[in-house]
Structure 1
Amino acid sequence: MLTSAVTPAERRVRLRAALAGTDLLRFPGAFNPLSAKLIQRKGFEGVYVSGAVLSADLGLPDIGLTTATEVAARTAAVVAQTDLPVVVDADTGFGEPLNLARTVQTLEHAGVAGLHVEDQVNPKRCGHLEGKSVVDEATAVQRISAAVRARHDPNLLVIARTDIRGVEGFDAALRRSQALVDAGADALFPEAMSDLDEFARVVAAVDVPVLANMTEFGRSDLFTHEQLRDVGVRIVIHPVSLLRLAMGAADRALDALAAQGTLAGEVPRMQTRAELYDLLDYEAYGDFDAGVWTFSLEGNRPG
C-alpha cells in the first residue's frame, strides 16, 4: 500500500543476481506509475522508463528537451509503485561529466536499479532516426567512466548505450562497444542492430550482459524473446509499446465519441472499475484508514 516496501538496494542486488543467471530479463516500458504496477502483476522481470516516453508524455519530441529533474521525478514515482528493478534512460547525462555525475546520483537517490548513458551528441535524436551524431570515443569513454565513479552503490547497473551503428556502421559499433566495456560499463546497449547476427557478434565480443531494444517502427525487426535469448541477449526492453497501445486506443475512442456521441461501444475494451481498484489495492487503503480512524470525543468539553 502507498509505496513498495522493497528497498532500492535490494532491487539492485536482485538485478545483479538475475544477470548472473542465463535467462532473458524482460523490461516493458512504463508510461506512468500505474502501468508499472500492471507490468509487475503480469510477471515481468523489470520495468523500463524511456526518455522518449517521458518526452511524449510532456508533449515534446525526444530531442533532449527534458531535464534531469523531470526524469528523476517521474522515475521516482514509478519506482514507488513496483517491487521490480527499474532501469531508466539517462540520455547523454544532461551535460558534461560533472553534470552527468550529478544525474547518476540523482537517479540513484530516485531508487533506480540501473540507468543507461549514450554516446550521442547533444541535442540527441531517437536512436532509430536519421540525422543523429555521436561523440568521439574519448568523450564516450569519459561519460561512462564518470557514471561509474559517481555512483554510491556499487550495485547500481551502469549501462553503456552506443548509437554508432547507424552512423559509422557495425564494425565501428564493435570497437565502440569494447571501449565502453573497458571504461567500466556493467552492461551494453548497442542501438539499432540490423539483425540477430549482429546481436550475436556483439555478445561474443564483450564480457558483460547485452541489452536489446525492441521498439516498434525502428530499424531492427521485432525479434521474439526466444530468438534474443538464443543469441545470448540478457535484457530486452519494449520502451514505447504500452504508450503506443494506450494512445492508439485513446485515438480510436475519441473518434468513436465524436462520431457516435457515446463510448458505449468501447466499454467492453475498457479496464473496469473493479479491475482498476484491484490493481490499486483499493481495499487495503480502506482497511488501513479504518484501523487508524479511532479517535474519540469522549471526555471533551461540550460545545
Structure 2
Amino acid sequence: MPTNDINRRFKERIQRGDTILMPGAANALAARIIADQGFEAIYVSGAAIANTYLAKPDLGFVSLPELAQHVGTIRDATELPIVCDADTGFGNALNVRHTVRTLERAGASAIQLEDQVAPKKCGHFAGKRVVPLDEARMRIRAAVDARTDEATMIVARTDARAVDGYDAAIERAQMFIEEGADITFVEAPNSREEIAGIPERLSGTPQLVNLVVGGRTPILDFETLEKMGYSLVLYANVALQSAIYGMTEALSQLRRDGRMDEDGPVASFSERQRIVEKDFFDDLEKRYAGG
C-alpha cells in the first residue's frame, strides 16, 4: 500500500477518536513481529535504536541518517502506520524542516518532536532541561510547515512536567496545538490524576500517553486510558526489554548447559523463517530463475 494511503487512513482513525495500542520497534524484525501479533501501529523509538544499534543509553546519540535508515527498513517490512521519534529535530527550526522531509521520504506516518535541549535525555531520566517556549513553538511550526503530505501528522511532545511542573507542561502542549500540532504528548505524568487530567485539559486534540515499564508514569490498563480519551497508548520499549530478558535467559542456559535445542527458550527454526517471510522469497527465486 502506498505510504500516502497508510498515512491518510491512520489520520482518519485518530480524528475519528479511536484508541490505538502501539508498541515500539527498534528494527524491522521487531516491527514484523508487532505486525504479526495484530497491532495496528508501530512506534520507532529513538531509545530503542540507541540501545540496540549502538548499545548506548537514550542520550541523543542517534543521528538523522541512522534514524531515517531504520524508518525505511521498517516501512519496507510492514504496511502499518509508523510514528517516528525524531527527538529534538536535530537542530534549529531549519534543521527540523529537513528532519521532517527526510523522515517523510523514509516512510513515517507521524513525526514526533520534543522541547528538550540537545542532546536530549530519555523522558524518564533525571536531569532533563527544556528550551524556551518560543524556540519550542518554532520547532513545531517548522515541522507543520515542512510536511509534504497533509496526512502526515506532527506529534508535539513536552518534557516540561519534570522541569517546570504539570501545569507548565499542559500550557506548553496548548501552545503546540496553536502552532498546528496534530497530537500532543505530555511526557512522564507522575500519577493517575495527572494522566486523567491531560485529555481533559487539552480536550479536542488527540493525546498520546507513554507507558514505560519501570518508568515514572503509573501503568494503567488500555480500557482505562481509552475511557480517559487517549488516542495512542504507547509502550515504546516492551519489545526491547523483553528481547533483553529473552536473550539473557537463553544465553545463560546455553552457558550453563553447553547445549541448546528447540526445547529451549528460543523460537523454532521454522518460526524464525516464517517471520522473515522466507517462503515469499523462495517463490520469487523460482519466478525469476532462468530456463
SS for the counterpart of 2:111 is strand
Aligned to 2:128: 132
Q: Hey, what's the Cα distance between the residues in 1 that align with 2:233 and 2:87?
A: 18
CA contact (8 A) 2:120 2:128 kept: yes
- What is the distance in 2 between the residues matched to 1:109 and 1:267? 43
Question: Structure 1 stretch 157-166 or stretch 280-289: which is displaced more?
Answer: 280-289
> Distance between the aligned counterparts of 1:269 and 1:227, measured in 2?
33
SS in 1 for 2:282: helix
**Hey, what does 1:33 align to over in structure 2?**
28
Taking only aligned residues, the RMSD between alpha carbons, in angstroms, comes to: 1.3
Q: Report deviation, 1:276.
A: 1.8
Q: Is the counterpart of residue 223 in structure 1 residue 220 in structure 2?
A: yes
Partner Cα distance (1:241, 1:86) in 2: 17
For residue 28 of structure 1, give the secondary structure of its aligned residue in structure 2: strand
The separation in 2 between residues aligned to 1:233 and 1:22, in whole angstroms, is 8
Alignment of 1:19 with 2:19, yes or no, is: no
Does 1:77 find its partner at 2:82? Answer: no
> SS of 1:143's equivalent?
helix
In structure 1, how many angstroms separate the alpha carbons of the residues matched to 2:21 and 2:55?
Answer: 27
Q: Distance in 1 between matches of 2:40 and 2:135?
A: 33
Q: For residue 180 of structure 1, report the CA deviation from its aligned partner.
A: 0.8
Which amino acid counterpart does residue 120 of structure 2 have in structure 1?
A: K
- 1:143 maps onto 2:136 in alignment: no
Aligned residues: 289
Could you tell me how far apart the structure 1 residues matched to 2:43 and 2:214 are?
19
Query: Percent of aligned pairs with the same residue?
Result: 36
Number of the residue aligned with 2:169: 173
- Answer yes or no: is 1:44 the counterpart of 2:46: no
Any gaps of 5 or more consecutive residues in structure 2?
Answer: none
User: Is the CA contact 2:249–2:265 (under 8 Å) kept in the aligned structure 1?
Assistant: no
Are 2:107 and 1:111 aligned?
yes
Following superposition, which runs of at least 4 residues in structure 1 exceed 3 angstroms of deviation? none
Task: Point out the more displaced range, 99-108 or 60-69.
Answer: 60-69
Structure 1 segment 256-271 matched on structure 2, within 5 A: 256-264=253-261, 267-271=263-267
The separation in 2 between residues aligned to 1:277 and 1:289, in whole angstroms, is 16
Distance between the aligned counterparts of 2:17 and 2:110, measured in 1? 19
Whether 2:18 is the aligned partner of 1:8: answer no
Give the stretch that moved more between structures: 106-115 or 195-204.
195-204
Could you tell me how far 1:16 is from its partner in structure 2? 0.7
1:56 aligns to 2:51 (yes or no): yes
Q: Which residue of 2 aligns with 1:209?
A: 206
Q: Aligned residue for 1:245?
A: 242
| Alpha-carbon separation, structure 1, partners of 2:263 and 2:19 | 36
1:199 and 1:233 in contact (8 A); partners too: no
Deviates more, 1:88-97 or 1:273-282: 273-282
CA contact (8 A) 1:63 1:125 kept: yes
Q: Is the 8 A contact 2:206 2:231 kept in 1?
A: yes
Aligned-pair distance for 1:269? 2.6
Are residue 190 (structure 1) and residue 160 (structure 2) matched?
A: no
Give TM-score, length-normalised by structure 2.
0.96
Distance 1:56 1:34 in 2: 15
How far the C-alpha of 1:86 sits from its partner, in A, is: 0.5
DSSP 3-state at the match of 1:117: strand
Which structure's CA Rg is the greater one?
A: 1
Mapped partners of 1:277, 1:122: distance in 2:
41
How far apart, in 2, do the equivalents of 1:281 and 1:235 lie? 29
| In 2: Cα distance, 1:186 partner to 1:214 partner | 20
- Once the two structures are TM-superposed, the CA of residue 222 in structure 1 deviates from its matched residue by 1.3
The 8 Å contact of residues 36 and 47 in structure 1, kept in 2 or not, is answered as yes
Q: What's 1:3 paired with?
A: none
Structure 1: state its 5+ residue gaps.
1-5, 296-303
User: Which moves more between the two structures, 81-90 or 246-255?
Assistant: 246-255
Return the letter of the residue paired with 2:6: R
Quote how far apart the aligned CAs of 1:209 are.
Answer: 0.5
After TM superposition, the structure 1 = structure 2 runs for residues 271-290 of structure 1, keeping only pairs within 5 Å, are 271-290=267-286
Question: Which among 86, 91, 95 is matched to residue 95 of structure 1?
Answer: 91
Q: Which residue matches 1:294?
A: 290
1:243-287 CA distances to partner (integer Å, 9 max, x unpaired)?
A: 1111111112222222221224x7343111111222222222212
